[in-house]
Homo-oligomer: A and B are copies of this chain.
Amino acid sequence: MIRLYDLAGHEDARRFSPFCWRVRLALASKGLAVETVPWRFTESEMIAHSGGARVPVIEDHNRIVADSWAIFDYLDQTYPQAPLFRSERERAQALFFKYWVENEIHPQIAPVIMTDLFARIHPKDREYFRSSREARFGMTLEAFAENAEGALARLQKALEPVRLALGEHFFLTGSQPGVPDYLLFGAFQWARCVSPRPLLGSGDPIVAWRERMLDAHGGVGREGLSEDLAPLPN
């Protein structure tokens, strides 16, 4: 069985990495069983054999693969069933989409969920998380979180091409979900698993897509939540 080192919060069951969620969906899409190992930011020694200090990392027999994109390629090479990418064209288009999600969507979600996220990470991670993120953002976590309102407005605008595309298809890859769906869904799971704040208006067509994604591939997206988080209104 494939083992996935999966970022966890205070509770082992709280899994909130957008990058790990991509991999969970990709594994499920191929029908591959996975054993997840809760991992915290400060447990770098636990994944030192991957050559890096970040998750996702998978172990499969004696193979160790880090980085979500490298894991997609490894999975397609090793388990050709239900290909994540059926052609170079599909893969290259999804690569643009990956960078779009990371450049345009993640940075708008981060300020909105930062306060809730910080409250739910493992206590032993707090000092590392605060100092590394404050260096990256160039401000305190509290000042960063004050950008939430503007970020939420920019998120709505940035998502407009998704809304328009979903006006014609159930998923970003057509009638069935594919890698671009996993990439964007990972971003929403990051928020969903730490924060009760809604990112979308109740009439937004992306809400219905997110529900379809929660149901996809055996409902794997509904896992990873702990119980003290109030249900999301949408």
Contact = CB atoms under 8 A, between A and B. Distances in A.
Nearest to A96: B165
Contact of A100 (B87, B88, B100): B100
Smallest CB-CB A-B distances: 6 pairs: A99-B161, A88-B174, A92-B174, A96-B165, A99-B164, A100-B161
A89 interface: yes
A90 interface: yes
Copies in the complex: 2
A96 B180 contact: yes
Contacts of A87: 86-87, 90
Nearest to A157: B103
Interface of A is mostly: helix
Interface residues of A, number: 31
A9 interface: no
Contact of A160 (B94, B103, B175): B103
A162 interface: yes
A169 B89 contact: no
Interface of A: 86-97, 99-100, 102-104, 160-162, 164-165, 168-169, 171-175, 178, 180
A91 B172 CA distance: 10
A103 B102 CA distance: 18
B94 A161 contact: no
Given A161-B103, A161-B104, A93 B95 contact: no
A89 B86 contact: yes
B99 A174 contact: no
Contact of A95 (B102, B103, B160, B168): B168
A9 to B, nearest CB: 29
